[in-house]
Chain A
Amino acid sequence: MESINTNKEYQKYVDKKSPNSPIFKDCFNAFWVGGLICVIGQIIYDYFIFRGFPQDLTSTIVSISLIFISAFLTAINVFNKIGKFAGAGSLIPITGFANSIISPAMEYKSEGYVMGVGAKMFTVAGPVLVYGISTSVIVGLVYLLFNTQAIMLV
């Protein structure tokens, strides 16, 4: 075995010794669970369209329904098991966003409704909101600058 003296050599050695995440299994599970969540959304969508709801209202209903299902599954200690299995598959759709807000709300309830639930609710989702909204503002500005039709409207 080669000698390990510097921190760099040790880091290299540790990287070699540490097992990697099973990336193909993780991707496969993320793919089909993520797809399944979208299928569920589509079923809800088709159902409400079939019942004669307008398209924009139906889109909102789909989001609300998936958020509710995710929040409910989080509260009954099921979503974390789905998340452990599916990873990004359940994290990327709106279900993951709901889970990231409900789970700290549950966790920090013991510190009260103001400094616990209220203050800590967005500890996980906060960065997503900050950078998501910031990005959309920047994209909006770019759109405004380069789209002549938009400028005409302004």
Chain B
Amino acid sequence: MKKIGNQTFKLDNPVTILETASIVGKKEADGPLAKYFDVCLEDEFFGEKTWEKAESKMIKTSIETVLKKSKVPVSSIDFLFAGDLLNQCISSSFGIRDFEIPFLGIFGACSTFVEGLLLGSLLLDGGAGNYGIAATSSHFCSAEKQFRFPLELGNQRPPTSQWTVTGSAAAVLAKDGLGPYITHLTPGKIVDKGIKDANNMGSAMAPAAISTIITHLKDTGRSPTYYDAIITGDLGHIGKGIVLELSKAEGYQLNSVYNDCGVLMFDKDKQDTHSGGSGCACCGTVFSGYFYNQLKQKKIKRMLLVATGALMNSTSSQQGESIPGIAHAVSIEL
């Protein structure tokens, strides 16, 4: 691996995304991407007594599913990166505790999935084993409970708010394989433009996404049209608009290739999700479900996956802190 430009790592031995799995809740299954997901839940409790347990079970199920689909035995998995939104990442650690796979817990808020892919690729490229897993989860109910209000509280959501995706995604990375390959990694810098409104996450994270995308393009010397798709994680409709406008102002025309998982996940008009989807599982499931399928079918040959995260919690919000945004990018090519 070598560093190119300011922030990008080019892998010597591109890592294959061997298989992906996605599991989503009912609202996501009612959305336009339903047919691409492996498992669609009927019940947000997933047969458990609490939402936290349901979320743990989701991440467990998505890892079991991806192992089954990839036909890689558990004993051959050398490491597992996972993280989620709940305090101290309990969904991941509780969901994973029975697997007996070396586990590295990570937190990047909603950028966790790509952070996992990025770290996993570095390890495999460096020769640390043959197979690794990156996984993440989020749950609308547990996220509301932790970050906002009780579910049954009769309040209104502002039009800028986003809907946390209920779901989990997992991907098996392999040192040797036939692609799709992860070729370049651009870990992001924290960008904080002073937005304080926790109901306007897309606007808070958009500058970080713009920074990472433009840095990646500069570092690699690529133009936006080198990619068939440049996809951000969960900026939603408002954040997507900001990325398009502000990157254009900096001389990068993304229109033809750019989209956002939060925009793709729900039907804005029918599903009352306001600015779109969010949460760790937003980027995770839309990539693992839809985009991985498109890569496999060779409908998309080169994509830049840019997961965005808002690195705040409810205490920092209450203390009047602004929201630091982050975006990590991986370049995936056939």
Contacts and interface: CB of A to CB of B under 8 A. Distances in A.
A7 B325 CA distance: 13
Contacts of A4: 246, 249
Interface in B142-190: 145, 149-160
B144 to A, nearest CB: 9
A39 to B, nearest CB: 19
Given A1-B245, A11-B194, A18 B154 contact: no
B195 interface: yes
A31 B144 CA distance: 28
Contacts of B200: 14, 18
Nearest to A70: B154
Contacts of A26: 156
B242 interface: yes
B203 A14 contact: yes
B153 A99 contact: yes
Interface in A26-48: 26
A77 B203 CA distance: 32
B193 interface: yes
Nearest to B237: A19
Contacts of A110: 49-52
A106 B154 contact: no
Given A110-B49, A110-B50, A17 B154 contact: no
A54 B151 CA distance: 39
Interface stretch (A58-66, A82-90, A144-152): A82-90
Contact of A106 (B150, B155, B159, B241): B150
Contacts of A17: 203, 238, 241-242
A84 to B, nearest CB: 6
B159 A19 contact: yes
B224 interface: no
B239 to A, nearest CB: 9
Contacts of A124: 149-150, 153
A102 B195 CA distance: 33
B120 interface: no
B145 A107 contact: yes
Interface in B238-276: 238, 241-242, 245-246, 249
A10 B195 CA distance: 8
Given A7-B194, A11-B194, A19-B160, A83 B242 contact: no
B151 A80 contact: yes
A87 B156 contact: yes
A1 B244 CA distance: 13
Given A4-B246, A7-B194, A107-B145, A20 B152 contact: no
Contacts of B52: 110
B83 interface: no
Contacts of B159: 18-22
Contacts of A81: 154
B325 to A, nearest CB: 11
B25 interface: no
A86 to B, nearest CB: 8
B153 A1 contact: no
Candidate in B153, B158, B194 with the most chain A CB atoms within 10 angstroms:
B153
A74 B151 CA distance: 10
A136 interface: no
B132 interface: no
Nearest to B192: A7
Given A7-B193, A83-B153, 14 more contacts: A1-B245, A10-B194, A11-B193, A17-B203, A17-B238, A18-B200, A21-B158, A26-B156, A74-B154, A80-B155, A87-B156, A96-B154, A110-B51, A124-B150
18 contacts: A7-B194, A8-B194, A10-B195, A11-B195, A17-B241, A18-B159, A18-B238, A19-B160, A19-B238, A21-B158, A80-B154, A80-B155, A83-B154, A84-B154, A84-B155, A84-B156, A87-B155, A110-B50
